[in-house]
Amino acid sequence: MRSPYGLDIIESCLTCNERDHYLFCNLSASALRSLEEIKSIATYPKGAVLFLEGQEPRGVFILCHGRVKLSTSSSDGKTVILRIAEAGEVLGLGASVAGHPYDTSAELLEPAQANFVDRKDLLNFLEKHGDAALRVAQRLSRDYHSACREVRSLGLSQSAAEKLARLMLEWSTTPGEHVRPSS
């Protein structure tokens, strides 16, 4: 089905062509059917904000199409873009599982489909489906280790040139991983 934003809407996770590639897409048939029951399909225009840094977590957004800018701000109003999320990522996962405010703001860079799962429904879903809970634990663990690597790289480097060299070296040894962590 085509949306007002020109997207090919993915109506069902069960029939999606990308099922092998994404966190919640390649689950057991039982888990996928349960996910179908708790998600709501939505399309958004460019510039829409899915959530704001510091906001209590309402749930997660499963990005089916589009790209999302994840940013954070300092107390004096300076904003830093942390990364660009791509289709297949689950946004707001860490905050929703832990029950703490979103760490970032998420703004769409282009029209997108982002299916929403309420936090309470997500937690019940993970409790009932061990395969999904294991994948979430693995994803959050990878995110943690990635954050530690980045802090180590930036915090322990002596100069801007060294920081840039470490970043480029990291990107060359782990292709794609520098843009994949969930928020």
Q: What confidence tens digit (pLDDT) does each residue in 58-110 have?
A: 999 999 889 999 999 988 888 888 889 998 899 999 999 999 999 999 999 99
Total of domains in the chain? 1
Q: What CATH code is carried by the domain that includes residue 174?
A: 2.60.120.10
- E-assigned strands of the chain? 39-40, 43-44, 49-51, 59-65, 68-73, 79-85, 90-91, 105-108, 112-118
pTM: 0.77
**Residue 7 falls inside a structural domain:** no
Q: Which of 53, 87, 52 is nearest to 68 (CA)?
A: 87
Q: Give pLDDT, residue 12.
A: 57
Q: Give pLDDT, residue 72.
A: 92
Q: What confidence tens digit (pLDDT) does each residue in 42-62 have?
A: 889 999 999 999 999 999 999
Confidence band for 29, pLDDT divided at 50, 70 and 90? confident
d(CA 147, CA 180): 12
**Residue 145 falls inside a structural domain:** yes
**Residue 84 falls inside a structural domain:** yes
pLDDT beyond 70 at 176: no
Residue with tokens 């309420």: 118
Average per-residue pLDDT in the chain? Answer: 82
Confidence band for 181, pLDDT divided at 50, 70 and 90? very low
Q: Which of 16, 23, 28 is nearest to 137 (CA)?
A: 23
User: Who's near 154: CB < 8 A, 6+ residues apart?
Assistant: 163
Which domain does 120 fall in, by range? Answer: 29-179
**Residue 3 falls inside a structural domain:** no
Q: Give pLDDT, residue 159.
A: 75
Q: How far is CA 154 from the centre of its chain?
A: 23
pLDDT beyond 50 at 175: no
Q: How far is CA 174 from the centre of its chain?
A: 19
Q: Give pLDDT, residue 15.
A: 59
d(CA 61, CA 64): 9
**Residue 78 falls inside a structural domain:** yes
**Residue 12 falls inside a structural domain:** no
Q: Give pLDDT, residue 6.
A: 64
Q: What share of the chain is helix, strand, coil (3-state, %, to 5)?
A: 40, 25, 40
**Residue 13 falls inside a structural domain:** no
CB 66 within 8 A of CB 27: no
Q: What confidence tens digit (pLDDT) does each residue in 125-156 have?
A: 999 999 899 989 988 898 888 888 777 766 67
**Residue 160 falls inside a structural domain:** yes
- DSSP letters for 103-137: SSEEEESS-EEEEEEEHHHHHHHHHH-HHHHHHHH
